[in-house]
Amino acid sequence: MRNYHVRLLDIKTAGDAVALMRQIGTDVHGVSLMKNKMVHYNFRVGPLPAAAANIIKQEMLSVGGEAAVTRGVINCSADNSDAILSATRKQFRKFCQKLRTQPFSLAQMADRLEVALRNQEKNSGLPFACRGIKVDLKQQSLIMGILNITPDSFSDGNHFFTSKEALNQARRLISEGADIIDIGGESTRPGAARVEEDEELNRVLPVIEALRHEFPDLPISIDTYKSRVAVAALNVGADIINDISAFNFDPEMAHVAASTGAYACLMHIQGTPNAMQKDPVYSDLFAETYHYFEKSINLAVTAGVKTEKLIIDPGIGFGKTLDHNLLLLKHLKDFTGFGLPLLIGTSRKSFIGKLTGDPVDQRLFASLATVAQALTNGANIVRVHDVAATKQALTVIDAINHAQR
C-alpha cells in the first residue's frame, strides 16, 4: 500500500508559491502561470447602489471568484450594499479589467483595488529616510522609544520630569537600541488634564534642543496635537509630528506638516483623552477606523503633505474597549492596504492589565507579546517604554517574518 503524505501549505505571497513549485520541479512556464492563482485576497468594497452591487457580483462570479452582498440586492429591494470580494490575484486582474467598462464609477474602484493589491504584493516599498535612518520598513522594523516629560503619564509620569532626568533617560533608550525618540509634554492617558501650550513648550523644547545637539543623526518625534507646539519643536530639531488626533483637533497641523516637510503619524482616536474611555461604541470598528484614516490622509495630502511622509496608527487604547484592542491587533493587516507604514503603541497599556491582572510596572512580558503579534500582522514601527527587551524580541521577529522558503 502506498503511503501518501498530505500537508497544509501556508502560502502568503506569490513568492512563497514560486519557491514551493520550484522545490517539486514545476516547469518554469507552469510556475509563471500558476503563481498568481495560489494566493487569495479578500476585500470589502462599498457602499454600492444595488445595481452596482449586482454588477460587482456578476463580474466577480464570471472570473471564478466569489462576492457576498446584502440580501435584497438581486431584486433591488435593498437600496445599497457593501460587497466582500474573494479571489486570486489572476482573477482580480480580470475582474478589474471588466469593471473598467462598467458605469457607477466602477473604473475608479478598479484603480483602488489594483493599488491595494500592489501594496500587498510588493516585498519592498515603505521607505523611511529620516536623519541617519534610511530603511525599507517592509524589510526592517523600527523602535520608537517613549520619553514622557510629564507628571501624570500612566506608566512613567514624574519619572523624567526635569530636563536632566529626561536627557539621561533618552540616552539610555538610545543606547538600548531606540531608532526614534518620541517626546511628549502632555499626558494623553484616559482622563488626563489638558496642559497649556506654554507649559508644554517649556517641558519639551530644552530636551529636543539638547538631544539634537548631542545626537545629530537621531530622528526625534514630538508627541502633540497642537500646531504651535509642533512648529516650535520642529524649529529646534524635531523631525516627526506624532498627532493623536490625526490632524483633527487642530486644523493648522496639516499645514505645519506640509510647510516643514516633517513626517506625520496620524493616529485614530474616538472622542478626546478626557472622555475617550467612557463606554466607547462602534457600529463597525474596522470600517469606522478605516474611514477615519481616509479622511485624515486626504486632509494631509490636500494641505500638501507628501504621502511618503505619512504613518498611520490605529490608536490602541484611545477610545477602545478591551475587545476592540484585541481585534485591532489580530487584524492589523486590514490597514496595510493604504500602503503606509503602520505604527503600534501597546506598551504597558491598561488592556494588558485587564488580561493579566498585573500592575503597570509588571507588564513587560505581555507587552512583548503584543509587539510580536503586531509585527507579524503588519506593523512596522513599535512605540515602547522597554527598549532593550523589545530590541531583542524585534530582532528575532523580523528574522522570522522575513525568512524565505
Amino acid, res. 315: G
Q: Using DSSP, state whether 132 is helix, strand or coil.
A: coil
Retrieve residue 8's grid coordinates: 497544509
Q: Which residues contact 403 (CB under 8 A, 6 or more apart)?
A: none
349 carries an active-site annotation: yes
Backbone angles phi, psi at 41, to 5 degrees: -125, 150
Q: Is 190 left (phi over 0), alpha (psi -120 to 50) or beta?
A: beta
Q: Which residues contact 315 (CB under 8 A, 6 or more apart)?
A: 244, 267, 268, 269
354 carries an active-site annotation: no
Half-sphere exposure (Cβ direction) of 371: Cα atoms closer than 13 Å: 29
Residue 189's nearest CA partner among 242, 151, 221 is 151
220 pairs with which residues across the strands? 181
Residue 98: alpha-carbon gap to chain centroid: 31
> CA angle, 254 as apex, 252 and 256 as ends, to 5°?
70
Amino acid, res. 334: D
- Among the listed residues 57, 203, 226, 383, the single catalytic one is 383
Residue 405: alpha-carbon gap to chain centroid: 26
Helices 106-121, 50-62: inter-axial angle, 10-degree rounding: 50
Integer Cα distance of 306 and 262 in angstroms: 9
* Mode of pairing for the β-strands spanning 133-136 and 263-267: unpaired
Structural contact between residues 76 and 69, judged by C-beta atoms closer than 8 angstroms: no
Integer Cα distance of 405 and 403 in angstroms: 7
Q: Using DSSP, state whether 1 is helix, strand or coil.
A: coil
- Among the listed residues 89, 309, 348, 349, the single catalytic one is 349
- Residues with catalytic annotation? 349, 383
